[in-house]
Amino acid sequence: MAMEIDSATLPLPVIRESTQATILCYNCGAPIDGTQAAGALCSDCLKLTVDITAGIERDGILYMCRDCDRWLSPPTSYVVATLESRELLALCLRKLRGLNKSRIIDASFIWTEPHSRRIKLKITVQQEAFQGTILQQTFDVEFVQQYRQCPDCQKSYTHNTWRAVVQVRQKVPHKRTFLYLEQLILKQGAHKETINIKEVQNGIDFYFSQRNHAEKFIDFLTSVSPVRTKKSQELISMDIHTSSASYKFSYACELVPVCKDDLVALPPKLAKTLGNISPLTLCYRIGTAVNLLDPNTLQISDLSTPIYWRTPFAPLADVQSLVEFVIMDIEPLGPSKGRFVLAEATVARASDLGVNDTTYNIRTHLGAVLHAGDSAMGYHLTGSQYNNDNFEAIQASKQYGGTIPDVILVKKHYAARRKHGGGKSRNWKLKRMAREESEMKPRKQDAEREAVDYEQFLRDLEADEDLREGLKLYRDGDAAPKRGMEVDGEDDDDEDEGLEIPMEQLIDEMEDVGLEDEDVEGEEV
């Protein structure tokens, strides 16, 4: 039986193309998709009729303190921002009301004249106009720059508004230590938070508007000098309802009265604890500790600040007691330690030349820099009377009584520069801190003594390379023409050639400010 197969084909269903429901834009009549149209408007009409920036301010006021160049960041804080910087742009955007409802896509400055005191911004934002429709628009904002003095500058112009004072003192007859400390402060910028600097007898007072600024300054002093600090406070006002009080703080910082090149007579017991060094030593450097040197053996020891204040003592003699000696003969012995070389020398006092033939055979640590015929400054111990208990104990000691030398040389002496008559002028200079001057003029002798101390400090910087490592020395442009006018053969100050500072170690004032001429020229091109 055969099966019959139906070969008839069935028609497939017809797939009809779906058509979109289109409507006409009620503004311009353009056909648009009715299912996705927002408010029956086409995209072009939507951009023209809907303003998503209507609730955003188009102008504002920026307050700037002309004394410190800081900008007011509401409500009360002041921030540092340069023109067309990211900080200033963020400050401007925060001041615009209604901007938080939109998404910021881009923001940039529009150039304005510097003297116009106008700051313009170009801002691009996105916001949802209707459901499912996001618009992006760009608009301009203009700010007017006005001046308002900040509270910190107001206090700086008003007396007795300080909150903390740091009183730095050192009981020495000269100011070389404060001159060196001033240069360290200038290099590190530790005085930027001060509202006033006042020079007083035996020291300097630094006034601060906040307590933490004073404590930060004390930390800096402790890191560069041997100092001890005492704190006191004075109650200004007190609120009994909230238990809040306002104080003024005073910090007394006393520097160790031992300076560079001072002759020190240590207590014998203290000398034994410092590596059994000879009690009669020289201070060759002052850092966070007092660095001592025995010129007869080149032994070095460090006296820390806490140990010194346990048994404080005054130096046996300072730089004002130095006497000039002439080197008659010198011979190195061989031992050396760093820049010190032990040598035997025959010296005579410069004032005795032509009067008597008294000479002294001594040992010195200056064998690397002294030669026959040079001059050196030193302490003349023979026949000198010192009212010092430690020195009397050394003289009475059986161990050290016979080791006291006749002369202790300290440093090489260079001929003094002539201030007039075409002498050599320095090719460098130092910056000084701005400080409050007293209403009464200083006495003539005090002014002369300060001038002598400053000149001696400059000469120490020229002679000691280690001393000027941590300082900033600037090129003196005014000294160059004077040096160029000197005629060969007329300059007789050949002795001070060792005091010349290489130009590589000097800093240009413009470079220190941070102006780079190459970058500026590249931008102009």
Look up the pTM and report it: 0.68
What ranges in 274-399 are assigned the alpha helix state H?
Answer: 305-310, 389-396
What tokens appear for 69 in the block?
């160049």
Buried b / exposed e across 428-444, counting CB within 10 Å, b at 16+? bbbeeeeeeeeeeeeee
Buried b / exposed e across 139-177, counting CB within 10 Å, b at 16+? eebebeeeeeebebbebbeeeeebbbbbbbbbebebbbb
What tokens appear for 288 in the block?
């966070």
Phi, psi at 476, each rounded to 5°: -100, 105
What CA–CA distance (Å, rounded) separates 66 from 79?
A: 13
Residues 6+ apart with CB under 8 A from 374: 326, 327, 412, 413
pLDDT at 423: 44
Could you tell me which of 11, 16, 42, 14 has the C-alpha nearest to residue 28?
A: 42
What CA–CA distance (Å, rounded) separates 510 from 434?
A: 19
What ranges in 264-387 are assigned the alpha helix state H?
Answer: 268-273, 305-310
pLDDT at 492: 45
Q: For residue 37, with 0-12 CB atoms within 10 Å meaning exposed, 13-18 middle and 19 or more buried, which class applies? A: buried
Cβ atoms 372, 329 nearer than 8 A: yes
Cβ atoms 59, 135 nearer than 8 A: no
Cβ atoms 452, 446 nearer than 8 A: no
Residue 22 burial (CB count, 10 A): 12
Phi, psi at 245, each rounded to 5°: -130, 155
Could you tell me which of 116, 139, 66, 184 has the C-alpha nearest to residue 472?
A: 184
Three-state SS at 53: coil
Residue type, 458: L
Three-state SS at 313: coil
pLDDT at 251: 95
Per-residue pLDDT in tens (0 to 9) along the chain, 525 residues: 455 555 555 565 656 555 666 777 877 877 777 666 666 777 778 777 778 888 888 889 999 998 888 999 988 889 999 988 999 999 999 888 888 888 889 999 999 988 889 999 999 998 887 766 788 889 999 999 999 998 878 876 766 678 899 999 998 888 888 888 988 898 888 888 888 888 888 889 999 988 999 999 999 999 999 999 999 998 888 888 888 888 899 999 999 999 988 999 999 899 999 988 999 999 998 888 999 999 999 999 999 999 999 989 899 998 888 999 999 999 998 888 888 999 999 999 998 888 888 899 999 999 989 999 899 999 999 878 888 899 999 888 888 888 889 999 999 888 765 444 344 577 788 888 877 765 556 677 778 888 888 888 888 888 877 777 778 888 876 655 544 444 344 444 444 455 667 666 677 665 555 534 444 344 433
What CA–CA distance (Å, rounded) separates 270 from 390?
A: 11
Helices and strands counted in the chain (H then E): 12, 24
Cβ atoms 207, 196 nearer than 8 A: yes
What CA–CA distance (Å, rounded) separates 474 from 80?
A: 28
Give CA separation, 9 vs 12, 15, 150, in Å: 9, 18, 95
Could you tell me which of 105, 132, 140 has the C-alpha nearest to residue 46?
A: 132
Cβ atoms 300, 293 nearer than 8 A: yes
* Radius of gyration, CA atoms only, the chain: 39
What CA–CA distance (Å, rounded) separates 287 from 224?
A: 6
